[in-house]
Amino acid sequence: MARYTCSFIVSVPVEHLQPLLVDLLQDCELDIQYYTGDYIMAREIPGTVSFSKMVKVEVLIDKSTATETETRMSIVVKNEELPLQLDNHCRQMFEFLKQAIEHSRHWHLIESLAG
């Protein structure tokens, strides 16, 4: 199973982050499966790639450390594909999503830490 993670600190109030992330994920051609105030689960739309390569994305918003101006969040991008090549589909989607978050006009990126 391929799995890639990244943490971000962005300058946006925590109550605004979740709806902005839902829009960002949908703009990245991901279908929102489930969300709460501090968690979002999305996946690629079926039919675009084989089932084993379909990417699932989990976003965790850390409300416990959020301030009025900064919010920490983490993303996990994974699929059932074995990461036999460095440039696999899951890694490509991870990099695409990471760049979308880092360059979003809806907030200012303070920190990004890939794991």
Contact 102, 7 (CB under 8 A): no
* Contact predicate 107/20, CB 8 Å: yes
3-state secondary structure of 17: helix
pLDDT tens for 14-62 read: 889 999 999 999 999 999 999 998 999 999 998 888 888 999 999 999 9
From the candidate CATH numbers 3.60.21.10, 3.30.530.20, 3.30.365.10, 3.40.50.80, the one assigned to the domain spanning 2-114: 3.30.530.20
What distance in Å separates the CA atoms of residue 31 and residue 12, rounded to the nearest whole number? 23
Could you state, in order of their start, the residue ranges of all structural domains in the chain? Answer: 2-114
Specify the pTM: 0.91
Mean pLDDT of 56-76: 94
